[in-house]
């Protein structure tokens, strides 16, 4: 009776973990990664389009990103979009491609990134807890309608709590891993 709710909760919590991983990829960690540009968009025929959909983005070494737009007219727009973003990197435009030299991060910048990481981590943990609360409400509703027994409600709530704890623990591992990556000199 309650298995469908628990499966739904597990699926939604897994999606929350994947969303966290995706969000953390956009945090700069001292080395070049094409994921840094995923959330930066440029106007392309009147539509905001991610840079990686209008250009090839490569990381030839640990401190350099190279952006080669398929339409050379986009070079200036891409350059402006990068300057407006919160990356803190100045693009070098040579008329053919844009080079982004990733500077080594200062200790203060690393601490700021760790704070941003913890903020994102907390936001995603709240999402998992909201999923738990939503499923608990549905379980209680079923118990009130006499669709499930009191014992089954208790067992389901315990399983739901274990699922929540497991998801939060997984998020902590992902966050700790990213924190070490940011603090790595």
**Average pLDDT, stretch 106-129?**
88
Of 101, 130, 146, which marks where a domain is finished? 101
Domain that holds residue 81: 34-101
DSSP assignment letter at 67: E
Q: Give the pLDDT confidence score for residue 21 in this predicted structure.
A: 87
- Structural domain total, the chain: 2
Of 101, 126, 158, which marks where a domain is finished? 101
Do 55 and 89 belong to one domain?
Answer: yes
Whether 185 has a pLDDT exceeding 70, the answer reads: no
Q: Give the pLDDT confidence score for residue 106 in this predicted structure.
A: 77
Do 112 and 176 belong to one domain?
Answer: yes
| 96 three-state secondary structure | coil
In this structure, the number of other CB atoms found within 10 A of the CB of residue 113 comes to 20
Do 90 and 60 belong to one domain?
Answer: yes
Candidates 24, 25, 42, 43; CA nearest to 34 is 25
CA-CA distance, 11 to 100, in Å (whole number)? 38
The stretches of the chain forming alpha helices (DSSP H) are 3-25, 75-84, 107-144, 150-183
Of 81, 101, 121, which marks where a domain is finished? 101
| pLDDT range class, residue 159, cuts 50, 70, 90 | very high
Do 11 and 45 belong to one domain?
Answer: no
What pTM was computed for the model?
0.70
Do 90 and 123 belong to one domain?
Answer: no
Q: Give the pLDDT confidence score for residue 29 in this predicted structure.
A: 64
Q: What are phi and psi of 174, to 5 degrees?
A: -60, -45
Candidates 58, 49, 45, 33; CA nearest to 81 is 49
For all residues of the chain together, what is the average pLDDT? 86
């Amino acid at each position: 009776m309650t298995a469908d709710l628990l499966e739904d909760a597990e699926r939604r919590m897994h999606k929350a973990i994947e969303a966290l991983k995706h969000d953390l990829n956009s945090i700069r960690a001292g080395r070049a990664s094409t994921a840094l540009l995923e959330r930066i968009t440029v106007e392309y025929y009147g539509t905001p389009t991610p840079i990686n959909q209008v250009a090839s983005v490569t990381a030839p070494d640990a401190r350099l990103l190279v952006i080669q737009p398929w339409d050379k007219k986009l070079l200036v727009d891409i350059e402006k979009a990068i300057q407006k973003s919160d990356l803190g990197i100045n693009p070098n435009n040579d008329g053919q491609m844009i080079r982004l030299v990733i500077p080594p991060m200062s200790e203060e910048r690393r601490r700021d990134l760790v704070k941003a990481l913890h903020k994102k981590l907390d936001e995603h943990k709240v999402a998992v807890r909201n999923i738990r609360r939503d499923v608990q409400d549905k379980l209680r509703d079923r118990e009130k309608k006499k669709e499930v027994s009191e014992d089954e409600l208790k067992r389901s709530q315990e399983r739901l709590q274990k699922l929540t704890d497991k998801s939060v623990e997984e998020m902590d591992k992902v966050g700790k891993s990213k924190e070490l990556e940011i603090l790595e000199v």
